[in-house]
Amino acid sequence: MLDALLFTKTSPILASLYPDCLWKVNTKEKNLYLTFDDGPIPEITPFVLDELKKWKAKATFFCIGKNIEANPEIFKRIIREGHSIGNHTYNHTNGWKHTNLIYYKDIQKCARLISSFKIQHSAYPTPHLFRPPYGKLKISQYRALRSKYKIIMWDVLTFDFDLKKNAKSVLSAAVKHSAPGSVVVFHDSLKAKPKVEYALPKVLEHFTAKGFKFEKL
């Protein structure tokens, strides 16, 4: 089974075991790839979008299907403002704890929902990007999904979801460990809200001053 071991900086050894997953973008350009899991929700996703817009930054949002259904206007805003959309299952389903059939059906339900949105002046969002909730994926699931989706993992995990971490440690993780091509994980979730509100503006400011651009996957 694949478990994205919870270290701030992903081990190259772990990444090499699953080469069909994207852990980091191979580039020498000063590009960072911010990703946001678990939204969209009204309590934090609009804040994230406002900050990204302020810094002319693009990002990738791995959305939970039931949150898309509950907050369609926020989801449409993500698309309208030029960010990428990824599939994060319909129910934030843990692949380790469910049969493959249940897991695949949950992913497909989210994929159909994402594809159903048509935004003015925008193509249909294509849910070809997938991030497994908790970074947990059975090897059988990995093998089945890699031909249908680009499975996105990460290079830098900020731990904004961890209630034991404070906002300054989240900021430090992002600033210290991010490098050209890094895929950085934040969450637009209630648990992460106070830490994202503190760290995200500072991350955007810090790396913009260093000449980095924030791109979508």
Which residues carry out catalysis? 37, 187
Distance CA 162, CA 165 (A): 6
For residue 185, list its beta bridge partners: 35, 157
Structure tokens at 84: 């990428």
| Cα 190 → chain centroid | 15
Residue type, 215: E
For residue 35, list its beta bridge partners: 60, 185
3-class DSSP state of 70: helix
Residue type, 88: H
Residue type, 182: S
Neighbours of 118 (CB within 10 A): 11
